[in-house]
């Protein structure tokens, strides 16, 4: 049964902590998943977090630390000695999780932790993981895995797998390598169990296998695993030697972080921020696009002021200005969102021209329907036929333009290696407001003959 943190549950927990019932609190938390415990600890004071964690066994404490919010975990680790971190983390976590947490420490604390890791080979593996560039497969992978040699017989393979499995918490796959450690393929456990013990591994392993390099961006890893429905994927170096493996739970966080980042960019937030962040970081992240939007609004106001005589002559023109601006912005955001999603998922196919032609046809259909509805509604509301004609034609043109503009801009940004997600928010809306109003007044000039 899934756990849901409620304010009532949290208040009851805090009341128990106030009277010093830490042991009782931990007993209540024992049945919860480490992620649920971490969710609760994220809401408590740091001294209470420390007291609760101290009551857990090292293995359980390590699992909870991995799930904690980064800021809370940083406070916990800041008050924990390097010796305790080494004993808690390294012996109880997979190498990738241990490397991620150690990587968050300052240099002095890192050195202190490494000096207290008794298994020097294990320490070297973790240190090696820390050398990989951030946001790459090398930084994401774990080194614990099962590998067998293609020249082994099945009987030898089983014996070696038993030895290797002692250091691996979960066996996700069995990889086959040659004498140089080059990845050749994977071995099915079913074949291993149903094949004669004297059969060479080279005769039964699967040669077709998806893999990534240590330098592959983590976003590409996530896309590849999603595309081929992979639960685990091996990581190799430039020579093809097996280095580690990445499991699905590792990339879920990447997918979520990328989605959050794209959503923030689309909303006009230029930095990665969270609701719990302090005032200055949130202000700094929001301000740039607000300023751009401000100047865009000033330009739109200038467009309106230069057409003041037209509005004075036909005051009803002003009634439809918000509608024209809003429709242009909405259509542009819709078009750009579809393109950005296709680019992010690497499902975009065809040329820019093909996509623009398709969007032109969609814009024509949507524009015709919406402008027809607007024309009929304008007449029913008692506006003049000329005004109804003006706003209908303007809306038709604005929808077509916004469809093309919303498609073209993300593709251009992507071509120049700029994140196209920035095109789905204030940028598209602001530009379409300005150009939509310009088109509106120009159509009015033609119809009314100003």
Q: What is the pLDDT of residue 294?
A: 85
pLDDT in tens, 223-264: 899 888 899 999 999 999 999 999 988 888 787 777 766 666
Radius of gyration, CA atoms only, the chain: 30
Tell me how far apart the alpha carbons of residues 160 and 175 are, in angstroms, rounded to a whole number: 12
Residue 298 CA: distances (Å) to CA of 290, 292, 303, 304? 12, 10, 9, 10
Determine contact, residues 375/335, Cβ cutoff 8 Å.
no
Contacts of 13 (CB under 8 A, 6+ apart): 25, 28, 40, 44
Q: What is the pLDDT of residue 271?
A: 62
Domains and CATH numbers, the chain: 7-139 (1.25.60.10), 146-247 (3.10.580.10), 279-448 (1.10.357.20)
Q: What is the pLDDT of residue 367?
A: 93
Tell me how far apart the alpha carbons of residues 377 and 103 are, in angstroms, rounded to a whole number: 62
Q: What is the pLDDT of residue 223?
A: 86
> Tokens representing 353?
């021209």
Name the residue with tokens 């809370």.
Answer: 72
Closest CA to 65 of 88, 84, 86: 88
**Weakly modelled stretches of the chain, pLDDT under 70:** 1-2, 260-278, 345, 422-424, 450
Tell me how far apart the alpha carbons of residues 337 and 351 are, in angstroms, rounded to a whole number: 18
Tell me how far apart the alpha carbons of residues 229 and 210 are, in angstroms, rounded to a whole number: 11
Residue 20 CA: distances (Å) to CA of 27, 170, 352? 14, 38, 65
Is the pTM higher than 0.75? The answer reads no
Tell me how far apart the alpha carbons of residues 429 and 427 are, in angstroms, rounded to a whole number: 6
pLDDT in tens, 71-84: 899 999 998 888 88
Contacts of 445 (CB under 8 A, 6+ apart): 310
Q: What is the pLDDT of residue 152?
A: 94
């Amino acid at each position: 049964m899934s756990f849901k943190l409620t304010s009532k549950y949290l208040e009851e927990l805090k009341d128990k902590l106030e009277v010093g019932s830490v042991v009782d609190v931990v007993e209540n938390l024992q049945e919860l998943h480490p992620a649920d415990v971490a969710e609760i600890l994220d809401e408590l004071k740091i001294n209470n977090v420390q007291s609760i964690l101290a009551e857990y066994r090292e293995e359980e404490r390590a699992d909870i630390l991995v799930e904690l919010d980064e800021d809370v975990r940083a406070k916990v680790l800041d008050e924990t000695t390097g010796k305790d971190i080494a004993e808690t983390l390294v012996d109880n976590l997979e190498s990738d999780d241990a490397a991620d947490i150690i990587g968050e420490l300052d240099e002095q604390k890192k050195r202190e932790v490494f000096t207290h890791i008794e298994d020097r080979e294990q320490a070297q593996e973790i240190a090696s993981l820390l050398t990989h560039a951030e946001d790459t497969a090398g930084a994401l992978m774990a080194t614990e895995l099962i590998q067998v040699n293609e020249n082994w017989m099945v009987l030898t393979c089983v014996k070696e797998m038993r030895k290797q499995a002692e250091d691996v918490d979960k066996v996700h796959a069995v990889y086959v390598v040659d004498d140089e450690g080059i990845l050749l393929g994977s071995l099915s456990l079913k074949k291993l169990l149903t094949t004669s013990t004297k059969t060479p591994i080279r005769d039964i392993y699967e040669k077709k296998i998806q893999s990534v390099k240590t330098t592959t961006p983590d976003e590409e890893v996530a896309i590849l695993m999603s595309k081929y429905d992979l639960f685990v994927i091996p990581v190799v170096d430039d020579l093809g030697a097996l280095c580690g493996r990445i499991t699905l739970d590792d990339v879920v966080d990447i997918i979520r972080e990328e989605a959050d980042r794209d959503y923030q960019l689309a909303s006009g937030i230029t930095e990665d921020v969270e609701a719990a962040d302090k005032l200055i970081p949130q202000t700094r992240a929001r301000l740039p696009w607000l300023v751009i939007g401000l100047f865009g609004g000033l330009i739109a106001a200038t467009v309106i002021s230069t057409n003041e005589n037209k509005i004075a002559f036909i005051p009803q023109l002003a009634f439809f200005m918000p509608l024209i601006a809003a429709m242009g912005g909405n259509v542009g955001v819709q078009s750009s969102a579809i393109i950005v999603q296709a680019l992010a998922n690497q499902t975009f196919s065809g040329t820019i021209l093909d996509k623009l032609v398709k969007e032109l046809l969609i814009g024509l259909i949507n524009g015709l329907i919406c402008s027809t509805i607007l024309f009929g509604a304008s007449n029913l509301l008692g506006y003049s036929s000329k005004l109804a004609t003006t706003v209908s034609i303007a809306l038709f043109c604005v929808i077509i333009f916004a469809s093309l503009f919303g498609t073209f801009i993300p593709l251009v940004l992507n071509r120049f290696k700029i994140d196209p997600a920035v095109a789905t928010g204030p940028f598209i809306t602001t530009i379409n407001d300005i150009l939509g109003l310009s088109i509106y007044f120009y159509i009015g000039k033609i119809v009314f003959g100003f």
